[in-house]
């Protein structure tokens, strides 16, 4: 896709997809509750895939979670605890994304799961559930530094384990807002839980049919923040559907982007973004992405383009997402004069010299966020996005919205 900007400020209203994180939790909870409606489901591939696989599971022996982490992890817990028999697979990349922490915890709960290829990775074989004979709740420990999705998956199914579950989280925990989102949605659907220090106790209270409306996606909004940051002076954009009281940790994009001259105003339904002068205290920026890993690519690209050096930590989980996002960022930023380098254990610095956009080709690595994080560079010069369709994972309308906002988009031949 060739992408370019005709000049002048960016203005208007852009439609966001609904959050795939909220939707994919609500779909699991709805399936367990046996009723209720989930409204504002997006057409994001990950959401539609979750819906289809949940509907197909009772009569299907092989399910394919493709490249969707939440689908793979949440369905693994759902299929295990509901005693499903069959195989759950995924793309070649999914077969490199670890799942052992979740499988071990589910085995402890009586699930019979085996690895079909590499130990610790999908595809998985499910052979039903051995009923536990406990009087009280099951007890499990889980480490929280690889993926929070294992914890969310186990928590959502825990009301359906005999006696519920006491889950102790060990070591550092990443992506914690996603665990909080899981707990908040479980409570909406009638679950009974409490947190005591590092332990979460979930009672065996089944979910109730509940109506839930999914909020717009703050991670998708992050690309509009970068567009406003990189566009000519006077740019502004309205994003309907976002709430000030959000369950999504990626709402943090608002405070991160304030450092790059984007001001957020909450409206009765949504937000308004406006470009304002850069703050004077941008000398030593230090951002920790432990709680919002999906924002790292967006912020790295904006920082490099504006030549505002930023020290970044909390990037560990980026190596095991849709691609190795650290390596992908390093390669793609270098094409423009940007640089992301490790400056100490787990500490990275993004900076640039002579950042120039002039017809480079951005490779996308099967990663929607690589395509969307780099697209705003088209405001600074023409560029080509190698595989634009990757955005369908979370934001299928992304290119249409850019065209609507005034970008010239042309299929690459």
Residues lying near ligand S3P in the complex (CB under 6 A): 21, 69-70, 147-149, 152, 174-175, 178, 293-294, 317
Gap between the Cα atoms of 214 and 191, Å rounded: 19
* Beta strand 408-410 pairing with 236-239: unpaired
Binding residues for 3-phosphoshikimate: 20-21, 25, 147-149, 175, 294, 321
Helix or strand or coil: residue 178? helix
Give me the 356-375 binding string for ligand PEP, x by CB under 6 A, dash otherwise.
-------------x------
Residue 323 near ligand PEP by CB under 6 A: no
Residue 245 CB contacts under 8 Å (≥ 6 apart), including other chains = none
Q: How far is CA 392 from the centre of its chain?
A: 13
CA-wise closest residue to 389 among 64, 45, 21: 45
**Interface residue with ligand PEP, options 217, 294, 332, 351 (CB under 6 A):** 294
Annotated binding residues for phosphoenolpyruvate, as ranges?
20, 69, 97, 149, 325, 369, 393
Rounded distance, CA 380 to CA 316, Å?
Answer: 30
* Distance, CA of 146 to chain centre: 14
Q: How far is the CB of 178 from ligand S3P (least distance, A)?
A: 4
Q: With contacts defined by CB under 6 A, name the span among 5-13, 68-76, 261-269, 341-349 that binds ligand PEP.
A: 68-76
Active site residue 294: yes
Beta bridge partners of 410: 2
Which residue from 145, 148, 193, 187 is spatially nearest to 166, judged by alpha carbons?
A: 193
Output the smallest distance, CB 67 to ligand S3P, in A: 12
Is residue 97 within 8 A of residue 69, CB to CB? The reply is yes
Q: What is the smallest separation between the CB atom of 25 and ligand S3P, expressed in angstroms?
A: 7
The span from the CA of 160 to the CA of 156, in Å, is 9
| Residues of the binding site | 20-21, 25, 69, 97, 147-149, 175, 294, 321, 325, 369, 393
Question: Which of 3, 28, 38, 68 is close enough to bind ligand PEP by CB under 6 A?
Answer: 68
Question: Using CB distances below 5 to 8 A depending on partner kind, what does residue 68 bind out of ligand PEP, ligand S3P, none?
Answer: ligand PEP
Q: Which stretch binds ligand PEP (CB under 6 A): 62-70, 84-92, 196-204, 371-379?
A: 62-70
Please give the positions annotated as active site. 294
């Amino acid at each position: 896709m060739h992408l370019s900007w005709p000049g002048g400020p960016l203005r208007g209203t852009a439609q966001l997809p609904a959050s795939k994180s909220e939707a994919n939790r609500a779909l699991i909870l709805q399936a367990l509750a046996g009723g209720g409606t989930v409204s504002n489901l997006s057409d994001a591939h990950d959401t539609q895939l979750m819906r289809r696989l949940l509907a197909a599971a009772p009569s299907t022996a092989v399910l394919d979670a493709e490249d969707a982490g939440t689908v793979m992890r949440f369905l693994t817990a759902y299929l295990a605890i509901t005693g499903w028999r069959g195989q759950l697979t995924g793309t070649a990349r999914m077969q490199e994304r670890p799942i052992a922490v979740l499988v071990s915890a589910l085995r402890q709960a009586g699930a019979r799961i085996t690895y079909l290829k590499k130990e610790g990775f999908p595809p998985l074989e499910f052979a039903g559930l051995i009923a536990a004979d406990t009087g009280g709740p099951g007890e499990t420990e889980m480490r929280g530094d690889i993926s929070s999705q294992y914890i969310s998956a186990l928590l959502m199914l825990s009301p359906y384990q005999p006696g519920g579950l006491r889950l102790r989280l060990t070591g550092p925990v990443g992506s914690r807002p996603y665990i909080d989102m899981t707990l908040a949605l479980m409570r909406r659907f009638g679950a009974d839980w409490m947190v005591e220090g590092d332990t979460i106790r979930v009672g065996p209270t089944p979910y109730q049919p509940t109506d839930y409306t999914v909020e717009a996606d703050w991670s998708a909004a992050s690309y509009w923040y970068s567009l406003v940051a990189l566009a000519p002076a006077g740019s502004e954009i309205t994003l309907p559907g976002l709430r000030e009281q959000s369950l999504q940790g990626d709402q943090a994009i608002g405070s991160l982007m304030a450092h790059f001259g984007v001001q957020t105003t909450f409206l009765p339904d949504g937000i308004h973004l406006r470009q304002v002068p850069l703050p004077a205290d941008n000398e030593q920026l230090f951002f920790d992405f432990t709680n919002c890993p999906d924002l790292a690519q967006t912020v790295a690209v904006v920082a490099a383009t504006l030549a505002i050096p930023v020290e970044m930590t909390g990037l560990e989980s980026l190596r095991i997402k849709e691609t190795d996002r650290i390596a992908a960022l390093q390669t793609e930023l270098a094409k423009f004069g940007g640089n992301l380098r490790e400056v100490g254990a787990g500490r990275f610095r993004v900076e640039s010299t002579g950042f120039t956009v002039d017809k480079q080709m951005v490779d996308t690595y099967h990663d929607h966020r690589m395509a969307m994080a780099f697209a705003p560079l088209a405001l600074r010069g023409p560029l080509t996005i190698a595989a634009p369709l990757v955005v369908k994972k979370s934001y299928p309308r992304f290119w249409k919205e850019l065209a609507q906002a005034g970008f010239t988009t042309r299929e690459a031949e």
